[in-house]
Amino acid sequence: MSQNKTNNRRQGLIVIGAVVAIAVIVVGVAIAMSGNTGSSVDYSAIPQSRAADGGFTLGDPNAPVTIIEFADFACPHCQNYHPTMSRFINDYVATGQAAFEYRNFPSTGGALTRFMAQVMECSDEQQPGAFWVAHDLLYDYATTNRYTEDAARDIARELNINYSDLLTCTADANQINVDERLGMSNGVNGTPAVMIRYNGGPAQFITHEGVTYNRGSVPFDVLAAVVEANQS
């Protein structure tokens, strides 16, 4: 009789252990999925172009609103803001309601960020669309302590681009200078900085409900409200 009780107790513990293990797995998967929400973008599904001054652009070029981000991969605030911008791209750029320009603006990263901007430009010249893949790779490298000059070689390997050709191209790549001049001429003096174009007009800082966001990140809710207010 006591043996039966022991066996029953053991079986009960096994069942409880299995239930707990399954619960842990389910919770872990849920956390992983929630952590990835809005942080990845399928760039191949979004129109890609370049602005009149060469700036790299995502989305419908005729969208009523274009959000412009000036950023530096080495900037911790930019790294923290990256998931917000990814969410914005998924929710509003991929759906055709807005366009998005990414402008490299060396601040924290200095010469390294300038070089990586040239690598991004040249990657795209050798493999159209590679700019945006490199953009995400560099944020990944920056948040995992791999944002060094070796990142250029890593990008070439990831994109299957000839590294020597990539380096040769960087000697003449100058979009970074255009991006930097655009930011400085509009009062950008740090990163991240977010500006807006209405119907292809000049870049300006975002003003919403009496607040002008002329430095730092702009909350997702503000970006969403501005875009939605300008839909026909």
What is the structure's pLDDT at 40?
83
What is the structure's pLDDT at 161?
96
**Is residue 4 predicted with pLDDT exceeding 90?**
no
In whole angstroms, what is the distance from residue 85 CA to residue 218 CA?
A: 10
**pLDDT band per the 50, 70, 90 thresholds, residue 232:** confident
For the CA atoms of the chain, what is the radius of gyration?
A: 23
Average pLDDT across the chain, whole number: 88
In whole angstroms, what is the distance from residue 163 CA to residue 153 CA?
A: 6
- Domain edges within the chain: 1-36, 45-229
Token pair recorded at residue 56: 């790299």
* pLDDT tens string 51-108: 999 999 999 999 999 999 999 999 999 999 999 999 999 999 999 999 999 999 999 9
Q: Topology of 45-229 in CATH?
A: Glutaredoxin (3.40.30)
What is the structure's pLDDT at 109?
96
Q: How far is CA 83 from CA 80, 157, 189, 196, in A?
A: 7, 25, 22, 19
Amino acid identity of residue 102, one-letter, is Y
In whole angstroms, what is the distance from residue 16 CA to residue 7 CA?
A: 14
* pLDDT tens string 111-135: 999 999 999 999 999 999 999 999 9
Q: Determine what percent of the chain is predicted with pLDDT higher than 70.
A: 83
pTM metric for this prediction: 0.82
Q: Determine what percent of the chain is predicted with pLDDT higher than 90.
A: 82
In whole angstroms, what is the distance from residue 14 CA to residue 64 CA?
A: 60
In whole angstroms, what is the distance from residue 168 CA to residue 163 CA?
A: 9
**Is residue 169 predicted with pLDDT exceeding 80?**
yes
* pLDDT tens string 189-209: 999 999 999 999 999 999 999
What is the structure's pLDDT at 11?
59
What is the structure's pLDDT at 12?
52
- By the 8 A CB rule, do 103 and 182 touch? yes
Task: Quote the distance between the C-alpha of residue 83 and its chain's center.
Answer: 6
If one compares 45 and 36, the residue with the highest pLDDT of the two is 45
Region 158-171: what's the mean pLDDT? 96
**Is residue 33 predicted with pLDDT exceeding 50?**
no
